């Protein structure tokens, strides 16, 4: 692990996004509540929050962090046939929370995939990426096409 003990504590935040392309059949099943495992949007949100908290257990050499805030939004973009996930993770600390935000989005979308696979085997995870981070030595960074 990288030594961060000498770094000053700063308020840090990271925002990640991603999507899961689904079929019209899956969109309909989701809208009608006809999925055997329940509502994937609700369960995916909880899974994303849990994943952010467990990132150090999943990604080698990540520091375990005392996160102060996690927001995960999972929604259906019906016309596009896409489930979108967005995670915002915060802490005051010596290292960033980019991996936690990316992990939250990834696990949220994987959870939705798992819950929809009975009706759609051709789903595609897309565009999982960091769109914004603040704090630390490098300050604020935002993706050019972040849409935030």
- The predicted pLDDT at position 40 comes to 96
Cα–Cα separations (whole angstroms), residue 81 to 1, 21, 34, 66? 40, 6, 17, 36
Phi-psi group of 25: left, alpha or beta (phi > 0 → left; psi -120 to 50 → alpha; rest → beta): alpha
Whether this prediction's pTM lies above 0.85 is answered by yes
| Closest residue by Cα to residue 127 from 113, 115, 109, 148 | 109
Active site residues: 114
> Span 49-56, mean pLDDT?
96
- The predicted pLDDT at position 148 comes to 45
| Closest residue by Cα to residue 83 from 58, 47, 57 | 47
The count of structural domains within the chain is: 1
Q: How confident is the model at residue 5 (pLDDT cuts 50, 70, 90)?
A: low
Q: Which domain holds residue 20?
A: 10-135
Asked, for residue 80, whether it belongs to a domain, the answer is yes
CATH code, domain carrying 81: 3.30.70.640
Asked, for residue 92, whether it belongs to a domain, the answer is yes
Question: Cα separation of 103 and 45, whole Å?
Answer: 12
Asked, for residue 1, whether it belongs to a domain, the answer is no
Asked, for residue 19, whether it belongs to a domain, the answer is yes
> Span 8-21, mean pLDDT?
93
Cα-atom radius of gyration of the chain, to the nearest Å?
A: 16
Asked, for residue 81, whether it belongs to a domain, the answer is yes
Between helix 24-32 and helix 98-116 the angle, nearest 10°, is 90
Model pLDDT for residues 92-117, shown as the tens digit of each residue: 988 889 999 999 999 999 999 999 99
């Amino acid at each position: 692990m990288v030594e961060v003990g000498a770094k000053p504590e700063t308020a840090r935040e990271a925002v990640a996004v991603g999507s899961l392309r689904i079929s019209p059949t899956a969109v309909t099943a989701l809208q009608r509540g006809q999925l055997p495992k329940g509502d994937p949007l609700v369960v995916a949100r909880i899974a994303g929050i849990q994943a952010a908290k467990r990132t150090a257990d999943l990604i080698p050499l990540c520091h375990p962090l005392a996160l102060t805030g996690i927001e995960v939004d999972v929604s259906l973009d019906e016309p596009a046939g896409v489930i979108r996930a967005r995670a915002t993770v915060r802490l005051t600390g010596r290292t960033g929370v980019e991996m936690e935000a990316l992990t939250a989005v990834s696990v949220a979308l994987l959870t939705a995939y798992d819950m929809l696979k009975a009706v759609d085997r051709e789903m595609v995870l897309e565009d999982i990426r960091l769109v914004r981070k603040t704090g630390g030595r490098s300050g604020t960074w935002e993706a050019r096409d972040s849409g935030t």
